[in-house]
Amino acid sequence: EPEVTQTPSHQVTQMGQEVILRCVPISNHLYFYWYRQILGQKVEFLVSFYNNEISEKSEIFDDQFSVERPDGSNFTLKIRSTKLEDSAMYFCASSEGTGRQPQHFGDGTRLSIL
């Protein structure tokens, strides 16, 4: 069964540095998402992406965040100047078709900011 893959599985970065988290969504999916989950807390929506542009974003997704689909397969989340509170698990997801469909999640990247 096709799956969403995320790399790296664990990223350790110094505060203030830039990080790029990478995702390969399922190939025929059209909608892409990023979520974060701080340890012990709920999964929080960050952003959705369709047709090469952001379709929705949450209050968490401020100017330090950006997303990109640099080629036909990858979907990236960039955090420009990391803060301690950015430490979390970041999940990528994708869904097919138009409108609301089940989302398929990767197993996440654990981001640790020192």
SS3 category, 63: coil
Give the 3-state secondary structure percentages of the chain, helix then strand then coil, rounded to 5.
5, 50, 45
Q: Which of 1, 9, 2 is nearest to 112 (CA)?
A: 9
Binders in 47-66 for another protein, by CB under 8 A? 48, 56, 58
- With CB under 8 A as the contact rule, the residue among 88, 108, 111, 113 that binds another protein is 108
Q: Is 43 in the site for another protein (CB under 8 A)?
A: yes
Q: Which amino acid, 39?
A: L
Contact indicator for 90, 78 with CB cutoff of 8 Å = no
Name the residue nearer to another protein (CB basis): 82 or 104.
Answer: 104
With CB under 8 A as the contact rule, which of the stretches 11-19, 64-72, 74-82, 99-107 interacts with another protein? 99-107
The residues that touch another protein, with contacts defined as CB under 8 A, are: 4, 33, 35, 41-45, 48, 56, 58, 91, 93, 100-108
